[in-house]
Amino acid sequence: MPAIAIAPRFAHSLLVQAEPVRLLFLDVDGVLTDGGLYYGPEGEQLKRFHTLDGHGIKLLAQAGIEVAVITGRDSAALRLRLQALGVRHAVYGTEHKLPAAEQLLHSLGLGWAQAAAMGDDWPDLPVLSRCALACAPPGAHEEAKALAHHITQAPGGQGAVRELCDLLLMAGGHYGALLQQAMGKPA
């Protein structure tokens, strides 16, 4: 089986900035999804999630990095997806994300210097502005992109979260071992 070379895709300074991260805050609409709101005939919300993002979240868990979702909406589809991914920390239906983030940090015994976030609009700005590493997808509102230390190449709902997960895994020194494990080789 041929070896896979891991190409450093991120600037060294960004990897250094991301190294202490132990908690990732994520928004949903525009970050884990494409930002579109889909409604079925009975009025239920439908969400489209990308498998790359989901696998990235699972890899973070294997590396000991917590994921927390803080979102202004709530839906059965979202709850099912987060449960399937093993996301243990979620706050639904809040436009005031800062108090929720501060409470999660406190409960986990972490500080802002150990947190990263990805958001795309004004409700995300208070969290983005405090995290050690702030990220935004390319379709984010200009103010979110202005606060971002990294703007992903992949759009929201199409691998943006996976790109951030890869960054965190590389920064923490977990990427290579997890890749080897996925290939069935000893780490």
CATH code for position 34: 3.40.50.1000
pLDDT reported for residue 17: 97
126 in a domain, yes or no?
Answer: no
pLDDT reported for residue 43: 83
Is residue 9 within 8 Å of residue 15, measured between CB atoms? no
130 in a domain, yes or no?
Answer: no
Domain that holds residue 18: 12-110+142-174
Residue 29 among known ligand-binding residues: yes
Residue 120 among known ligand-binding residues: yes
Is residue 58 within 8 Å of residue 167, measured between CB atoms? no
73 in a domain, yes or no?
Answer: yes
117 in a domain, yes or no?
Answer: no
pLDDT reported for residue 40: 86
- Chain centroid to CA 40: 27
SS3 1: coil
129 in a domain, yes or no?
Answer: no
- For CA atoms 173, 178, 179, 183, give the dihedral sign: positive
Rounded Cα gap, residues 140 and 142, in angstroms: 6
Instruction: Write out the E strands in the chain.
Output: 23-26, 38-39, 45-46, 66-70, 89-91, 115-118, 133-136, 150-151
131 in a domain, yes or no?
Answer: no
127 in a domain, yes or no?
Answer: no
pLDDT reported for residue 45: 83
- φ, ψ at 158 (rounded to 5°): -140, 35
- Chain centroid to CA 135: 9
Domain count for the chain: 1
- Tens of pLDDT along the chain (187 residues)? 556 666 668 999 999 999 999 999 999 999 999 999 888 888 878 899 999 999 999 999 999 999 999 999 999 999 999 999 999 999 999 989 999 999 999 999 999 999 999 999 999 999 999 999 999 999 999 999 999 999 999 999 999 999 999 999 999 999 999 998 998 887 6
186 in a domain, yes or no?
Answer: no
